[in-house]
């Protein structure tokens, strides 16, 4: 998948920064592709880059406007249609990672047809997947799993890839969500795959490879999240990981979007992922813990990481603040 660059990141009326995580993920990993952001009145998110009007973006040569919001159900509100139509009329393609297809809104479909612009729905693959088989395949695979949604699984997998490539290893980030696809240019949004074929899609995403090749697979949801556990389980089975890295945000008090659901303990989460993962890889093991410490002070973050390492006997780090060298060291030591 190749999107014309540079981008305008449209974050609509996102209720908070986390709701704009698709846009912020693209910005964090592909900063030079992004010219600015477009926000509607009432938007509570800010990417920290210039606010551009459609005319400003056109003048700066923007080629694609990306709908950079991730919301429950992946809905594209009709109130956004006028902005998307304006971008099309200004000569931009539009790309979205939402479940709602861009061309399902008549005004957007009509504008794209009249102006000869592309509408790209990265969440919807034209691939046909088989059901998962669980057959052992060569290559090595690490899957990021989480205590909750939006805790750093994508960033962890990307950081692992970057560290492994820096060491001269064969490694590929495997995207399983819309933001990862925007960043890497390939992958499948597994939450848009028919349930019977999720594990098969995961097998396709991380296929048989050289014995010394590493796939770093972006996780989705959490086995403990009532809304998305089914996706998490299918991805776990199809990924057939040799190792899991548990991702966690320590200031959360409840599951995102489920205020009455408490987060699981770290060991509890590791144990369930290992128990479920043994269906397709009996040798699966936990190889590290990734902690999103953005809401902690530096000293508090280091103390928390040390506490996690002591309690779990696994290397722990914040991949953004401190990198993942210690986790990769451990992976190379224990995964055979």
Instruction: Establish if 156 belongs to a structural domain.
Output: yes
Same domain, yes or no: 176 and 46:
no
Same domain, yes or no: 278 and 178:
yes
Percentage of residues in the chain with pLDDT exceeding 70? 100
> Tell me, what CATH number does 276's domain have?
3.40.50.300
Interval 136-170: pLDDT, tens: 999 999 999 999 999 999 999 999 999 999 999 99
Residue 85 lies in domain: 7-121
pLDDT of residue 170: 98
Instruction: Establish if 291 belongs to a structural domain.
Output: yes
pLDDT of residue 18: 87
Closest CA to 236 of 254, 218, 251: 218
> DSSP characters for 265-298?
PHHHHHHHHHHHHTTT-TT-EEEEEEE--TTS-H
Same domain, yes or no: 250 and 300:
yes
Same domain, yes or no: 50 and 179:
no
Q: For the chain, what is the domain count?
A: 2
Same domain, yes or no: 315 and 213:
yes
Instruction: Establish if 132 belongs to a structural domain.
Output: no
Higher pLDDT, residue 72 or 281:
281
pLDDT of residue 1: 66
> What Cα–Cα distance (Å) separates residue 56 from each residue in 60, 61, 87, 93, 325?
6, 9, 11, 16, 41
Instruction: Establish if 126 belongs to a structural domain.
Output: no
Which of 58, 92, 121 marks a domain boundary? 121
Which of 121, 150, 182 marks a domain boundary? 121
Same domain, yes or no: 285 and 144:
yes
Interval 226-238: pLDDT, tens: 999 999 999 999 9
Same domain, yes or no: 235 and 151:
yes
Same domain, yes or no: 175 and 279:
yes
């Amino acid at each position: 998948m190749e999107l014309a660059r540079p981008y305008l990141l449209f974050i609509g009326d996102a209720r908070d920064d986390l709701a704009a995580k698709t846009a912020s993920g693209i910005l964090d990993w592909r900063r030079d592709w992004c010219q600015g952001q477009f926000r509607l009145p009432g938007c509570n998110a800010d990417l920290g880059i210039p606010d551009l009007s459609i005319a400003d973006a056109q003048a700066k040569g923007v080629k694609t406007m990306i709908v950079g919001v991730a919301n429950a159900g992946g809905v594209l509100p009709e109130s956004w249609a006028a902005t998307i139509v304006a971008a099309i009329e200004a000569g931009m393609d539009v790309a979205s990672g939402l479940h709602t297809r861009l061309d399902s809104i008549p005004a957007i479909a009509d504008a794209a047809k009249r102006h000869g612009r592309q509408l790209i729905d990265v969440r919807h693959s034209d691939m046909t997947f088989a059901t998962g088989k669980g057959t052992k395949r060569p290559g090595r695979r690490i899957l990021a799993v989480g205590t909750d949604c939006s805790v750093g699984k994508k960033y962890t997998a990307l950081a692992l890839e970057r560290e492994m490539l820096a060491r001269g290893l064969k490694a590929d980030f495997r995207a399983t969500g819309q933001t990862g696809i925007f960043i890497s240019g390939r992958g499948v949004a597994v939450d848009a795959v028919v349930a019977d074929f999720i594990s098969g899609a995961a097998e396709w995403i991380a296929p048989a490879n050289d014995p010394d090749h590493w796939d770093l697979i972006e996780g989705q949801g959490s086995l403990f999240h009532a809304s998305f556990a089914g996706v998490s389980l299918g991805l776990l089975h199809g990924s057939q990981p040799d190792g899991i890295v548990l991702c966690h945000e320590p200031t959360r008090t409840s599951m995102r979007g489920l205020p009455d659901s408490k987060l699981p303990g770290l060991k509890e989460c590791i144990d369930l992922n290992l128990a479920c993962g043994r269906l397709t890889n009996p040798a699966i093991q936990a190889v590290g813990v990734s902690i999103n410490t953005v809401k902690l002070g530096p000293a508090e973050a280091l103390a928390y990481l040390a506490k996690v390492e002591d309690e779990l006997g696994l290397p722990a780090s914040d991949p953004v603040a401190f990198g993942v060298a210690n986790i990769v060291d451990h992976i190379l030591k224990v995964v055979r």
